[in-house]
Amino acid sequence: MKNIKDNTEKLQKVLANLGNGSRREIEAMIAAGKISVDGKIANLGDRVDVSANPKIRINGHLIQLRSKEKEVCRVLAYYKPEGEICSRNDPQGRATVFERLPRLKNARWINIGRLDINTSGLLLFTTDGELANRLMHPRHEIEREYAVRVFGNITDQQINQLRKGVQLEDGPASFNSIKAQGGDGINQWFNVVITEGRNREVRRMWEAIDVQVSRLLRIRYGNINLPKGLSRGTWMELGIDSVNYLRELVGLPPEVKSFTKTTSSSDKKIVRPKRIKLNNPSKSPRRATAKKPTRK
């Protein structure tokens, strides 16, 4: 007897791939009874066949299903300024990273990881939920590099302690590398590398050795550097070489189409920046007066 091919996928995976949240967030919505399939409240473990065009609703809103063959994986590099949060909406009315991004039709931008409100620098967005979920999974151990400004004289003993590891409330943590970058007076800059994405991990590691971080800037994610020509609050779309580099990192097949014109390896994984007009210029981030760290 021949096996019948199963075209179904887990409901949370389908919705995550469409950019409706992480799988964990969607599982929480399913458990709370906020998701329905063809008029019936969904349960954890439900599977759906997208080709059958099921009517999936979240909080009563119909979700548009798209054919994967028509999708093109897109990735943006955004220079997040301090003062923005990594949420789509904020009850307190604070600025969010999504406000400055380009509008999409029948798709949405998904942030790959987060930066806290007081951290600036490189933040990647994609239209591919599976890519975002895999890049955020700790098993892939993707490097994140930060430029950190701290107050005070840092001893060799403290540096060795950060390399060896410190104990945080959610477990031990250590920097893969830490390099002094100089500074002025009591302001000292360091470049540090981690492979995890725990909440406020870099700040908490310095605090564990009684050192206060005064500025934190992410300058690299994997092999994608914060572009030198990108100013705070603006974005650029990455070329196909960058997109496929990220997809290869997590075992996804390469893309053959791109929304950018540049596809050669000489692109160095970025394209020319595209600036957008701000809806409210008064919300533009203030320029920092401190000495800037060296970007790679």
Q: Which residues are identified as catalytic?
A: 116
Beta-bridge mates of residue 121: 80, 218
The DSSP bridge pattern shows strands 120-126 and 213-221 to be parallel
Q: Can you give the C-alpha Rg of the chain in angstroms?
A: 21
Which residues in 145-159 are b (16+ Cβ under 10 Å) and which e? bbbbbbeeebeeebb
Q: Using an 8 Å Cβ cutoff, are 97 and 83 in contact?
A: no
Q: Using an 8 Å Cβ cutoff, are 186 and 153 in contact?
A: yes
Query: Cα separations (Å) of 12 from 70, 129, 137, 258?
Result: 21, 11, 16, 27
The DSSP bridge pattern shows strands 235-237 and 75-80 to be antiparallel
Q: Which amino acid is at 225?
A: N
